[in-house]
Amino acid sequence: MNEPAQPPQQSGQELPPAGPIGGQLARVLNGLAHRFQLRHLESKYDSLTMLGLFSFINGCLSIGIMAVLALVTRQAFIFPSLGPTAFLFFYTPLAPAASPRNAIYGHLIGVTAGWGSLALFGLLDAGTAMSEGVTVARVGAAALSLGLTSGVMVLAKAPHPPAGATTLIISLGILHEPLHLLVLMIAVLLLTLQAFVINRLAGLPYPRWSTP
């Protein structure tokens, strides 16, 4: 009886080439094709067309899940910085910035810095910068929130670039209610779980928490 096929990315086996755009996206696609025995796809895993199609489907799936949750719960499970986090999870999943630790800590730092900056400048009850215009207080809150997020991520050794967008979303007043911020962090956790499942199915050594 033949042994079940194992993804080529498993420990002790050679990883396939990175593909035409670098990162590990081609390795994720190759691993999933091997896992589910999609032989034709496995032979074309490094095709630019296939990689583009995979990114399209994966992006739709990642945000689609959040969109369904937002529709059902009527809460803000979709926010702009979730997109670049999803791209990091599947384009460079083995990079430290894409680890669960960095993603969760980064967005949490961004949320805290953004909300704290709003509070400091007396903007917790103000409208958005788009509806009320840019004021001196809004400039101060935005600058402080991004500065704090960048500095604290470095000090915590948890850089995650999309967190810079998260903190500006908050300090510009787009999201600022405590419930919205909690939902934002739940969305980050759910997307991180999805990244763990897909990357592990693909055979990549995606970390449970942090990259060694």
SS (H, E, C) 68-126: HHHHHHCCCCCCCCHHHHHHHHHHCCCCHHHCHHHHHHHHHHHHHHHHHHHHHCCCCCC
Question: Is residue 33 assigned to a domain?
Answer: yes
The per-residue pLDDT for 17 is: 61
Question: Is residue 44 assigned to a domain?
Answer: yes
The per-residue pLDDT for 175 is: 92
Q: 10-residue block means of pLDDT along the chain (212 residues)?
A: 44 58 90 89 83 92 90 90 95 96 98 98 95 95 98 98 98 94 96 96 96 86
Q: CB of 160 within 8 A of CB of 103?
A: yes
Question: Is residue 142 assigned to a domain?
Answer: yes
Q: How far apart are the first and last CA of the chain?
A: 38
Nearest to 98 by CA among 211, 212, 10, 194: 211
Q: CB of 46 within 8 A of CB of 170?
A: no
Question: Is residue 211 assigned to a domain?
Answer: no
Which residues constitute the domain of residue 181?
Answer: 25-201
pTM of structure: 0.88
Q: CB of 100 within 8 A of CB of 210?
A: yes
Report CA-CA distances (Å) from 12 to 7, 8, 21, 203, 204.
Answer: 11, 9, 25, 11, 12
Question: Is residue 9 assigned to a domain?
Answer: no
Total count of domains within the chain: 1
Q: Supply the DSSP symbol for 15.
A: P
